[in-house]
Structure formats: C-alpha cells, structure tokens
Structure 1
Amino acid sequence: MGEESNQASLLSADSPFARLPDHLFIEIFIRVPIVEWGQLSCVNKYWANLFREDCLWHAALIRCFPLAGQGKRWPGPIPRGMSKRRFAALCMSKCIFPLDDELSEIVGHTCLFLKEQLEISTMPPPSGILHGTIIDQFIACGTSRDRAHELASLIWLAVIDNLEDTHQTFHLLKRLAFEGDVFLPYPYSRSYKVEWKIFERLFTDFRDCLRNADYYDLVACAKQKFQPIPATWLDC
C-alpha cells in the first residue's frame, strides 16, 4: 500500500514532478532502460502522448546513437521514416548483426522492411521483388554490388531465422520454397544459404505441419536445389 500511495502522490496534479515541462520528462525517460519504456507509456495519458511525439524519439535517437544525428541524404526505394522508425531500425541492426559504420541504419531499415513485407496478412509481394528492392537500396547508398549481395543475404537469413513459429510463417516459408526459380543476374540472385535456411526451417521447425503430399513435394524440390540434402530432412 505504501508504494502505491507514493506513486499516486508522485503523479497527482499537485506534485512538483507532475508539473515538469515536456523536455525534462523526455530527458528523464530516455535515461530509463528501453525495456521499461512500454510500462512508462502506460502510466497515464500524458506520458503515453509523449511517447507518441517525434521529439522524444529524436532525443532518444541522439542519445543512444549519436552518429545518427548527422543529416545525410537518404536515397533508395526503402523509406527512412521519422525518428521512432529510425530508432527501431538502429536497435534492430544492433541486435541482429551490429556494424560500426554508416551501413548500420541502412541494414536496420532493410530488416524492418523485409520483416514487415513478409508478415503481411494477405499475399506478400514475390520474394524476387523484395530481394531486388533490398539490393537496390544498398547500391543507391553507394555500396558495392558484392557488399550489397552479402548484406542482403545476411538480412534474409536473420529475418527468416527470427520469424515466429506460427501458422502464417509455415505458409510463408512453404510459398518461398516452391517459388519458381527465375534467372536473375548477380547480385539480384538470392544466395544458396538463404534457400537452404527456408528448407531447413520447414523440415525442422514445421515438420509436423507438412502433409504427406507437401512433404514429398518439398523433398523433391530440395533435391533439385541441394546435393546432398541432410538425412535429418528425410523420413528415415
């Protein structure tokens, strides 16, 4: 009861803390661990509104990623978005495979883009279009063709590996596995490792979801793409 009473007193309209200006609240919030921001935004409507404002996310962006404050031209087909989007992109890049150069934010945005496009509830765009968009983004930002191909492969692997084990993910991976091979010139060709990861998840994480007909079709498709295929993918 004592703790609840202290919290109520702290948030009351008569409390000096409650009368702090917005910029001081923001300076306090961005110093709190990120994992607690969700709880802070649920305390009251005023704090929730602050977490919707771009000024808070801009301050968080500058504090957590100082180099992100440098204004740079953003070419390419994948949108950069406002401060909250940029913050999420940089956090994603830092968690998946951190880079210490200016590619970090580009990687984060392409990860967000690919993940969101693959998780569209209706039919997502063909993977060839998504892959080409990612390659074009890196090339537009001055990355070499070889580096663009390498980074696009890493992004596909990270996103596919982190998709939740849901019914929607199962149908998505099955569609990606059965997509017809369309010849595309380098660097627009999707890497061998990405193709392997799709089949690996289907045969390991979703084996129980496969009907007999689907299973044998996938095995036949895998044998065309990979030689040899792992024994763990087969019913032995």
Structure 2
Amino acid sequence: MSDIAVEVTNVSMRFNLGRERINSLKEYTIKLLKKSIEHEEFYALKNVSFQVKKGDSFAIIGGNGSGKSTMLKIISGIFRPTTGNVMVNGSIAPLIELGTGFDVELTAKENIFLNGAVLGYSKKFMLERYDEIIDFSELYEFVDVPLKNFSSGMVARLGFSIATLVKPDLLIVDEILSVGDQAFQEKCEQRMDDLTSSGTTLILVSHSIDQVRKVCNNAIWLRKGEVIALGQVEDVCNAYLQG
C-alpha cells in the first residue's frame, strides 16, 4: 500500500435538501424542535471507489452536478463521507475554491503572509519566498491592491503561486485555472508537470478535456455521482466524449 497516495473505497455522500419553504428563524426553530422539517435526500456520490498512485496525475471528469467537487472536498477532509472510507498518504495542498484562505479587504502582499500562516509557514520563510510568489503570479503592479479589486483570474494566480510554493505530496486543483488567461494556464500546467515529475501526486478537476489529456495520465468519469469509466486518460476521455 506504500505506493498509493489516495484510496477511495465505496464512498457515498448524501445531502438533505429542504422540501418546504420556511419564512423565519422562529418557524424553523419550532419545526426543528417538533422534528417536522421535511427533507429530500440527494446523493452526490454513490459507492465510488478508485486508487491514485503516488506521483500519478489523475483527473476527475464529468458534467455539472456529477460529484467531482464533492469528491475533492472529501479527499481534502472538508467533507466527511456518509458511507465509505478515504485514505490519504502525505500532505495536501488543495486549490478547490477561489479565495479560500484569503481576506478580500487585505492587499495581495498581506494575503500572501496570511495564506502562508494558514498553510503553516513562518513569516521568515514567506519573506524569503515572497519574490518567487510575485514573479510566478506576475502581479508586480498589484501587490498593494486589496483583493476585493482583483479579477477571479488574478486571485487564481495568487492562490496557485502560494499553494505550489513548496512541493506537496498531493496537489488538488479544481477548475480554478479555467479563469486565468491561456499563457498563465500553460505556465501552471508546466509547474504541475514539474511537481509530478519530482514525485507530487496531482488530482485535477477540469471541464477542459484538452487540458486533462495534456496534464494527466489516468482519469475517472463520474455521472450523477456514479463511476462510468476508470483507467488511462485517453480511454476515459474518449468514452466521456462519446458519452
């Protein structure tokens, strides 16, 4: 098992969706105490199983609502599955949602140190690597601008630059690169390739099949929370496109 970075075993994820409209906190509290709130069960994932080997570049593909992001959040430890188990070996650098770990009222420079602290890096370490982060993100002219004035692409640049500052055991990337320009996407793809070449495991969610084919070796296709195909990236992507 030492060559396995991530093992997902029979994972299901159930969410309870409210079926009735509740107009006030008082009404909600009364219904909650009476246990009379009606819920509709929704399974975002249904008995999903797969393994990702250390050093692999692995894609999760599927249409909207297929369970891709839910799966990443379970692997990252944000969600706990309703049933099943997930085993992860090593440190995780998740890039799942734009702005996670940032304060939009603070400048880019302040957020670099804030995000570094969230990731467990010392101020001394972040000072030593500050120029490297700015160089990669290409945000030279915006270091003193509050993040609330940044475009989503600029936030993605900053987040990716910090998350890949140190080689993680597992890098998880969910769609955020799609908001950047083509040149920066290619730059990120090259860094992801460099990381996997040096032993980092990559799990990527992307709607771009071209990007998946370019970056990943293996893939899984989810549809409505269920596994449709699993294997080499070209085979899974072809099955998805023929769909």
- Do the two structures share a fold, i.e. TM-score over 0.5? no
TM-score (norm 1): 0.28
TM-score (norm 2): 0.27
Larger RCO, structures 1/2 (Cα 8 Å, 6+ apart)? 2
User: Structure 1 or 2: larger strand share?
Assistant: 2
User: Structure 1 or 2: larger helix share?
Assistant: 1
